[in-house]
């Protein structure tokens, strides 16, 4: 009756959930760079490790690999205008949204599948019970 379309919806939602979670995971694992200033790394590791931005002082000096390095004016401007935290944010937020949406879709698919299976089992028990009463 209606169980076949529900199972199709469950399958479609399940595969969409897997796809969204996979895409979000890949996005959050792609390394981010701030050329000439800092290797930010993957957004997930940047956020989990608590890394900080390398912002140069007024003269353009910054600590890189335990050495004080003077950045070019363009690199110093880039470090101030778009630090790693902002670059990571631009990638981590959409990835997080994809993972959350995928998780919600997956839970919805599980709920639909559970309700559908419960209804089919209930209908089967009712039909068996009615058949036993008529015989």
Per-residue pLDDT, 79: 82
Is 46 inside any structural domain?
yes
In a domain, 11, yes or no: yes
HSE at residue 40, side-chain half, CA atoms within 13 A, is 27
pLDDT band at 135 (very low <50, low <70, confident <90, very high): low
Q: Is residue 13 part of a domain?
A: yes
Q: What angle do CA 26, 31, 36 make, to 5 degrees?
A: 160
Q: Is residue 56 part of a domain?
A: yes
Domain count for the chain = 1
Residue 114 lies in a domain: yes
Structural domain boundaries enclosing 87: 3-130
Q: Does residue 117 lie in a domain region?
A: yes
Tens digit of pLDDT for each residue in 86-130? 989 999 999 999 999 999 999 999 998 888 888 877 777 776 666
Does residue 135 belong to any structural domain of this protein? no
Do 41 and 24 form a contact (C-beta atoms < 8 A)? no
> What is the reported pTM?
0.74
């Amino acid at each position: 009756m209606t169980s076949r379309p529900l199972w199709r919806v469950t399958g479609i939602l399940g595969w969409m959930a897997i796809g969204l979670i996979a895409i979000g995971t890949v996005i959050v694992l792609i390394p981010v760079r701030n050329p000439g200033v800092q290797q930010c790394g993957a957004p997930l590791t940047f956020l989990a490790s608590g890394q900080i931005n390398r912002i140069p002082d007024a003269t353009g000096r910054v600590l890189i690999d335990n050495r004080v390095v003077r950045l070019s004016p363009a690199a110093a401007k880039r470090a101030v205008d778009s630090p790693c935290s902002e670059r990571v944010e631009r990638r981590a937020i959409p990835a997080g949204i994809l993972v959350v949406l995928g998780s919600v879709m997956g839970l919805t698919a599980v709920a639909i599948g559970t309700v559908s299976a419960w209804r089919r089992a209930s209908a089967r028990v009712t039909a068996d019970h009615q058949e036993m009463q008529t015989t």
